[in-house]
Structure 1
Amino acid sequence: MSKLKNLENKVVWITGASSGLGKALAEKCAALGAEVILTARRVDELESVRLALLHSEKHLSVAADITDEEQVLQAYKKVLNAKGRIDWLINNAGLSQRALIADTTMQTERAIMEVDYFSQVFLTKTVLPTFLAQKSGRIVFVSSVAGLLGTQYRATYSAAKGAVHMWANSLRAEVANEGVDVSVIFPGFVKTNVSFNALNGAGQPQGHQDEAIENGLEPEDFADISIKALLNGQEYIVIGGRKEVLGTWVSRISPSTLYKMIRKTKVK
């Protein structure tokens, strides 16, 4: 478990970096001296974020659809050609859900798993040889409290976020003696556009904000807590309000109590 005081001259690659959590994480990393690689689908939005970062000339926008393996491979080459190394990879890109299981098509089930699980796995497997060759670095996955609890209207999202958590646990064990660290962040409600973009059962964006998200943590606060925890070498990082944090504790101590709590909770 390696600790750092800051990110001076460290190369940090962040997916889903054009808005929300990714943008906030990029701002925090840049403020701590990192050279930030910003990835999302739209280069104009990435450039808008990059130009607003401290020392914008040090950072790089690399547009890619993370579900397209060829685009991911090309992005990886661009990063290595430009920077020569990667110190942190933050798998942040994600897609949420707001639909009952009975109303969710299999196409929508697969679309969410593709973004929230398979794309994270492919990018990490692509970048892993660089970390192993360096014998240093940290691979980070932004999961979700939903991946620890499982709630109504988020079955596939919860499953995907839980899956990437378990995959990260296996990765951590496999690279433990190679100088590579693995961390998973579990955000609760954070005030972003995640609910606007969340898919309904037919696979269309919901298009409106959830009350819980609107009243959630500010992205900047999430980023501050996350980066501080990562610098301290933490591997299991839960960030959220009292209800979400309590839920994660109850899930460990008494799963049956948690199930009863969730059944009574309004989650949409």
Structure 2
Amino acid sequence: MAKLENLNGKVVWITGASSGIGKAIAQECAAQGAQIVLTARRFEELENVRLSLPNPDQHLSVVADITNESQVEKAYATVLEQKGRIDWLINNAGLSLRALIQETTMQTERAIMEVDYFSQVFLTKTVLPTFLKQKSGRIAFISSVAGLLGTQYRASYSAAKGAIHMWANSLRAEVSDQGIGVSVIFPGFVKTNVSFNALNGEGKPQAKQDEAIENGLAPEDFAQQTVKALQLGEEYIVVGGTKEKIGVLVSRISPKLLYKMIRKTKVK
């Protein structure tokens, strides 16, 4: 059986770390002795998370809007200056969508791709030289079950999450012989504020909770399962309820049946 990677003293950099999945992963890694670098746009929220972690002094809050390339480069320089290395990079920051295609402006389509695809590509390309130099480390991307299935009301979100999955596959093929692991995580419904922040067709937050998210997996459960899978070196990690896992299985066995199932499902 594969051996669990020991996180004690490892430097784990997490984007979108001020709440939800990012915060829960930070708590799980810190509980195992990792040094956490927390990144999001708001310093106060990051500090609240940092101070809630065991040994807060060994963790770091680094503010950056991940869609701003100069802020990302500055954050990277700060991390290296303060920590000297990066063992895990968890690309978690993301933005969801709740709108029909015909109601979604091109500006909204591009905004989703910018956060969920291009910004993650840029951050990873920025950090990659450190991993190559170390000849070690793991780069993880939080995709989504939506990125494997494609459902109503989430077209550009599904597309961006599918795109980052394929980009990660190519990255893995290029760097696997250099000691670098690449993992993609596909969450199903997890109980976070993701649906409050999800954009409507006009690019405004929908500001309400989805029923499926409300009944989703607790962020702590999600984080435990995810971190353990990463420690085991798993590359394709589906974390969710039975319904989502069945959907993923059907997508691999019979896309035709999957499309039929999706058409009948109420997903909003």
Q: Fold-level match, TM-score > 0.5?
A: yes
Q: Which residue of 1 aligns with 2:261?
A: 261
Q: Which residue of 1 aligns with 2:113?
A: 113
Q: Which residue of 1 aligns with 2:134?
A: 134
Match of 2:90, SS state, is strand
Amino acid at match of 1:243: K
Amino acid at match of 1:116: D
Q: Is the 8 A contact 2:138 2:180 kept in 1?
A: yes
Q: Which residue of 1 aligns with 2:190?
A: 190
Instruction: Provide the rounded CA distance (Å) in 1 between the counterparts of 2:4 and 2:253.
Output: 32
State yes or no: 1:44 paired with 2:27. no
Instruction: Provide the rounded CA distance (Å) in 2 between the counterparts of 1:217 and 1:227.
Output: 15
User: What is the deviation of 1:176?
Assistant: 1.0
Match of 1:62, SS state, is strand
Q: Which residue of 2 aligns with 1:72?
A: 72
Q: Which residue of 2 aligns with 1:96?
A: 96
Match of 1:248, SS state, is helix
Q: Is the 8 A contact 2:7 2:32 kept in 1?
A: yes
User: What is the deviation of 1:6?
Assistant: 2.5
Instruction: Provide the rounded CA distance (Å) in 1 between the counterparts of 2:28 and 2:15.
Output: 15
Instruction: Provide the rounded CA distance (Å) in 1 between the counterparts of 2:177 and 2:211.
Output: 44
State yes or no: 1:175 paired with 2:161. no
User: What is the deviation of 1:22?
Assistant: 0.2
Q: Which residue of 2 aligns with 1:147?
A: 147
Instruction: Provide the rounded CA distance (Å) in 2 between the counterparts of 1:69 and 1:207.
Output: 28
Instruction: Provide the rounded CA distance (Å) in 2 between the counterparts of 1:16 and 1:4.
Output: 25
For structure 2, the 5+ residue unaligned runs are: none
TM-score by length of structure 1 reads 0.99
Structure 1 moving runs of 4+ over 2 Å: 2-6
User: What is the deviation of 1:10?
Assistant: 0.3
Match of 2:178, SS state, is coil
Q: Deviations over 1:189-225 (max 9, x none)?
A: 0000000000000000000000000000000000000
Q: Deviations over 1:3-44 (max 9, x none)?
A: 544300100000000000000000000001100000000000
Amino acid at match of 1:114: E
Q: Which residue of 2 aligns with 1:160?
A: 160
TM-score by length of structure 2 reads 0.99
Report the number of matched residues. 267
Instruction: Provide the rounded CA distance (Å) in 2 between the counterparts of 1:3 and 1:120.
Output: 29
Residues 1:70 and 1:3: Cα distance change in structure 2 (over 3 Å): farther
Q: Deviations over 1:43-77 (max 9, x none)?
A: 00000000000111100000000000000000000
Match of 1:217, SS state, is coil
Instruction: Provide the rounded CA distance (Å) in 2 between the counterparts of 1:185 and 1:32.
Output: 20
Q: Is the 8 A contact 2:95 2:197 kept in 1?
A: yes
Amino acid at match of 1:14: I
Match of 2:36, SS state, is strand
Match of 2:173, SS state, is helix
Q: Is the 8 A contact 2:37 2:61 kept in 1?
A: yes
State yes or no: 1:229 paired with 2:229. yes
Amino acid at match of 2:25: L
Q: Which residue of 2 aligns with 1:29?
A: 29
Aligned positions of 1:202-241 closer than 5 A? 202-241=202-241
Instruction: Provide the rounded CA distance (Å) in 2 between the counterparts of 1:119 and 1:5.
Output: 28
Instruction: Provide the rounded CA distance (Å) in 1 between the counterparts of 2:43 and 2:205.
Output: 21
Once the two structures are aligned, what percentage of the paired residues are identical? 76
